[in-house]
Amino acid sequence: MAFNSLLTKGKSFTALKNAVQIQQLANGHSVGNAMASMTKEKIGSREIVGFGLNGQPYYFDKLDIPMPAIRFKEITPDIQVLREKEKGDWKKLSLEEKKALYRYSFCQTLSEIKAPTGDWKGVVGVSFFGISIALWLFLLLKLYVYPPLPVTFEPERQKAQLQRMIDLRMNPIDGLASKWDYEKGKWKE
């Protein structure tokens, strides 16, 4: 029974899907059109002129792929005039018009892409800030939290430890005792 109802549900779902599809077709929206309208939403009336990075209609400035897939700006009446003029002799275009046409197609020049941003200053500043906080923390811990060092860190104790290591002839081949002259009672030259 349950299986049956599942079947009918499946059927009704298919029917619904078909109905939606038919409605979409009647409205003139197929899947392809939906995607095209999504693209259109993103790029507006900007002209698609090339392959770009991966065939997608995105604008980006990149040194190793200098020609993006679409133009940077949408067409405006001003640009339309310039584009008509561009069809004629380029010598008749003024420098400003050429630059306007360039900025219509591209956002940044290649030297602008390469221009340093100065971000490194902020990075260095924040790093030093972090290091200083760590140093202050260490100092405060040293002053107020840690107990004093154990007695074994006192110079007399350390000397006595070294003397005992020599007396025990520790590491006599190439270590400590090998450097001690036991006949003269001092370090070897």
Contacts with another protein by CB under 8 A lie at 49-52, 63-67, 83, 86-87, 89-93, 95, 98-99, 101-102, 104-112, 114-115
The position carrying tokens 């924040």 is: 126
d(CA 18, CA 43) in angstroms, rounded, equals 32
Measured from the CB atom, the residue of 27 and 111 that comes closer to another protein is 111
Nearer to another protein (CB atom), residue 100 or residue 177: 100
**Residue 52 Cβ, how far from another protein at the closest point, in Å?**
8
CB of 98 to another protein, least distance (A): 6
Q: Would you say how long the chain is, in residues?
A: 189
Backbone angles phi, psi at 138, to 5 degrees: -60, -45
Helix (H) / strand (E) containing 162: helix 155-167
Closest distance of CB 60 from another protein, Å: 12
Pick between residue 111 and residue 152 the one whose CB is nearest to another protein: 111
Closest separation in Å from C-beta 32 to another protein: 20
Which residues neighbour 45 within 8 Å (Cβ) at sequence distance 6 or greater?
74, 75
Identify whether the C-beta of residue 107 lies closer than 8 Å to the C-beta of residue 59. yes
